[in-house]
Homo-oligomer: A and B are copies of this chain.
Amino acid sequence: MELESLTIGQYEFVQNAFSFGLAVMAATTLFLWFSRGLVTPNYRMAITISGLVTAIAGYHYLQIMLSWQSAFSVTVDTIETTGSPFNQAYRYVDWLLTVPLLLVELILVMKLARGETISKSVWLGGAAALMIILGYPGEVADTAGVRFTFWVLSMIPFLYIVYQLVIGLRGSIDKQPENVRGLINGAAYLVVVSWLFYPIVFLFPLIGLTGGAAIVAVEVGYTIADIVAKAVFGLLILAIAIRKSENETG
């Protein structure tokens, strides 16, 4: 990344975006955990995990924000890089943990048979972890060729997950009560759409997008995608769980 090309305004905008991401994740965590009492015990684990995902993300936004601040020395008039690297890889650490959990959330809220829950969690969660692990060597690679190779490898589990969400879960979704089917479909599509952002951004350096504006676009874009994929998604899971709880208790 060409951190040197950032203006003060761009630096501060990204800093504000990270702080916003941190606040959203922390607030969503608390909201989800306070709302556990609104759903029947069947769905508590889904909500607990939704909150864990945003809690983990909040921790990583704190680390990312600190790393960002330490990479720059800013005064009212000037901005300079300090030489301290901006550790973007915290995102991979975050994803390795949260991306599988996001899929588990979705599976848990469907309340399938125990065996199916476990097998789907293992397959989808495992694919998600593999996707992140395969992306990391590309992210830290020095050459465009290596970067691209790992992008291709990582796309395989990615496409498998997309296929499962769009086609493979069809049967399970159709067995859901009518008044939540729309919401669950929405959650599945939200995953597909918001996740698309990540492999696309990964290609930016390959097509020469690396200046100040590109950095802003990437960091702010990631933050928005994360908020959609974790916080908005978590609230959607809560809405589904509340509605299903109402169905079941009365």
Contacts and interface: CB of A to CB of B under 8 A. Distances in A.
Interface of A: 8-9, 12, 15-16, 19-20, 23-24, 26-27, 30-31, 33-38, 41, 44-45, 48-49, 52, 55-56, 59-60, 63, 74-77, 81-85, 87, 89-90, 92-94, 96-97, 140
Contacts of A52: 27, 30-31
A25 to B, nearest CB: 11
B63 A74 contact: no
A23 B84 contact: no
A9 to B, nearest CB: 6
A220 to B, nearest CB: 13
26 contacts: A9-B140, A12-B87, A12-B89, A12-B140, A15-B87, A16-B89, A16-B90, A19-B63, A20-B97, A23-B56, A23-B59, A23-B94, A23-B97, A27-B52, A27-B55, A30-B55, A34-B36, A35-B45, A37-B41, A37-B44, A38-B44, A75-B82, A75-B84, A76-B83, A76-B84, A77-B83
A213 to B, nearest CB: 16
Contacts of A19: 63, 90, 93
Contacts of A56: 23, 27
Contacts of A55: 27, 30
